[in-house]
Chain A
Amino acid sequence: MQTVFSIAVDALAYGMVLFVISIGLSVTMGLMRVVNLAHGAFAMIGGYIASYAARDLGLGYAAAVIAAVVATIIIAIPLERFLYRRIYGAPELTQVLMTIGITFCVIGIANYAMGPTLKTIPLAGALQGSADLGFRTIPVHRLFVILCGLAVALALWFAIERTSFGVKLRASVDDAAMAAALGVRTEIIYAVSFAVAVGLAAFGGVVGAELLPVEPYYALRYMVTFLVVVSVGGAGSIPGALIACLLLGAIDTTGRYLMPEFGEFFFYLAVIAIICVFPRGLAGRVK
């Protein structure tokens, strides 16, 4: 029984880490319809900036997180203006080509500028160490990530479903021409959503760095995981992504405990099964 609880806690923690890192991709892919394979690259940039801010500039953890999010958005603005704006509405494969190109460039530059070694982000004192849950211990940092995940999910859901910006965003996505005709400045809406997505990527990259350490190849290494999680949830759906992360986290964790030898099989078989049953993802909207 204790083991079951223990696995459940691990699964929850892992699922929430996945959620925090990949939710930004759900925004670009589901709401903006851009297959953004460079999502991992932005998360990595965030991680590098936080690491630099905390280790070399001596900022605190909170300040490093904020610096990473802000700086990554600043880096992303020219990319949006000159590159991404050209591929909104383009065929998926063209988007894949462009965003893979961007990812390659970012990897090359990171390798050149920061070196190939792992970079860590020192945690704030309060987040270090382990907390005692009675039947086991869990790193405090994991609890922090779970809270972050919940906060992000709530904030995003509120912004998209309950604010006027969310209304305009959904309108622009469903019919850009009509929305524009009604006076919505779709360009700005897209730019802001892109900035939000990139900011979330950077935030996830920093907060998740304990589990997915920052190094130049980060951008490609975890790309598949992000893509899978978002698509299984149904791109663009916040609750869908949350359910998918928790479900896949649970399957992955349980599989790795029971039969680590076949860990990969469990995960990908589950993905295939889910998509065969829900061809548009768990919470995909019918077009």
Chain B
Amino acid sequence: MKKLVFAAVAAVAIGTSAYADPIKVGVIGPFSGPFALQGKNFKAGIDAYMAVNGNTVGSDTVEIVYRDVPQPDPAQSKALAQELIVKEKVQYLAGFYFTPDAMAVTPILKQGNVPMVIMNAATSAIVTKSPLVVRTSFTTWQTSTPIAKVAFDAGVKKVISVVSDYGPGVDAENAFKAGFEKAGGQVVEAIRMPLATNDFSPIMQRIKDSGAQGVFAFLPSGPTTLGFVKAYNENGLKAAGIKFFAPGDLTQESDLPALGDAALGIQTTFHYAVSHDSPENKAFVEAATKAIGNKAELSFPAVSAYDGMYVIYKMIEATGGKQDAEKAVDAVKGLAWASPRGPVSIDPESRHITQNIYLREVAKSDDGTYINKEIQTFEKQGDPGLAAAK
């Protein structure tokens, strides 16, 4: 009896799958909790891509399955990835905002025959953990290295580095130091402050006392960034002419309305600005704004997700909808296309994205909103972090 039921269920399952078995893509990201905004941007980028390009590749339908990991939690991330692979039978894993969450999943990719497309996690080493990892976001090294040159060219010879004391912060400090010292400048002091810092006045005092002409900073976006930039202005550092340099995480578009005039004139280097001027970006911003509902919330994770979906669609095309992780990854090695952020390509060796890095300055646009205005382009930047680790 039991067997009969089983057979019947199996038959139904096979029967339906013959018609339309959608190709599932599992997306893991922070959709609730303190980083909900970033997860929301993942979803907006994905929705935008599917709205523009349809939800089918050839004869296959693509379906997205979302799973929430609100804060860095590798155990949870791995359990969810396992569930997605084994139970939901996803063919692709994507998303991953935090490095440890991505690291936890890399060991099971091979056995699950599933490629992983990273849409944010920015530590260089992740791509070395499994040959099935492709990254469409950026690394902290990639975005922090050019600002060192910018600082030196602006005539600043002595810089103090101030970063939050966690993985990406340390990466940023090392990247800046390497770049700045190579250019001939001097990092007079490197401060690492705890992530949970609310009052930055003592740090500002330290910066003043160090005698540096400029400050390089890295903090996670959100309330800490706001506090830091405010303290920079209020404690008279801006007035004293101490220049401010940072990668673009600090002037994420969704934080700009809160930062307001305090941020005007801050120069950052990053791979994407919502204000980027190109037809591809216009189309993207329009679709993504529709998906997210409020343009002010749109920022960089959305474009990584959008390009991540482009890569996944190419993978599906190359494998004809069949599950073959290796073939899928091989198909996108060296792939080059026009992304909303500018021309990009997947480096065949590291499987990380090669892209332009832009120097931007926070400015007021004609309609009164704050934007990151691109003023200089560093073309075709790879990831210096991998080389540095060797």
Contacts and interface: CB of A to CB of B under 8 A. Distances in A.
Interface in A248-284: 252-254, 256-257, 260-261, 263-264
Given A213-B226, A263-B193, A118 B258 contact: yes
Interface string A227-263: 0000000000000000000000000111011001101
A19 interface: no
Nearest to B293: A115
Interface string B183-225: 0000000011110111101110110010000000000001100
Contacts of A118: 222-223, 226, 255, 257-258
Contacts of A256: 193, 197, 199, 202-203
A14 interface: yes
Interface in A34-93: none
B24 interface: no
B264 to A, nearest CB: 15
A111 B198 CA distance: 22
Contacts of A211: 198-199, 227
Interface residues of A, number: 42
B197 A111 contact: no
Interface residues of B, number: 37
Contact of A111 (B32, B230, B235, B254): B32
B202 A10 contact: yes
Interface string A92-117: 00000000000000001001000111
A186 interface: no
B330 interface: no
A213 B205 contact: no
A278 to B, nearest CB: 25
Contacts of A120: 226, 257-258, 260
Interface in A122-173: 130, 136-139, 141
10 contacts: A3-B205, A7-B202, A10-B199, A116-B36, A118-B223, A130-B236, A217-B34, A221-B223, A256-B203, A260-B202
Nearest first, the 8 closest Cβ-Cβ pairs linking A and B are A116-B37, A118-B258, A257-B202, A217-B34, A139-B234, A10-B201, A256-B202, A260-B193
Given A117-B254, A117-B296, A211-B199, 16 more contacts: A3-B205, A13-B199, A14-B201, A17-B199, A116-B37, A116-B40, A117-B257, A137-B234, A137-B235, A211-B227, A217-B33, A252-B199, A253-B202, A256-B197, A257-B206, A261-B191
Interface of B: 32-34, 36-37, 40, 165, 191-194, 196-199, 201-203, 205-206, 209, 222-223, 226-227, 230, 234-236, 254-255, 257-258, 260, 294, 296-297
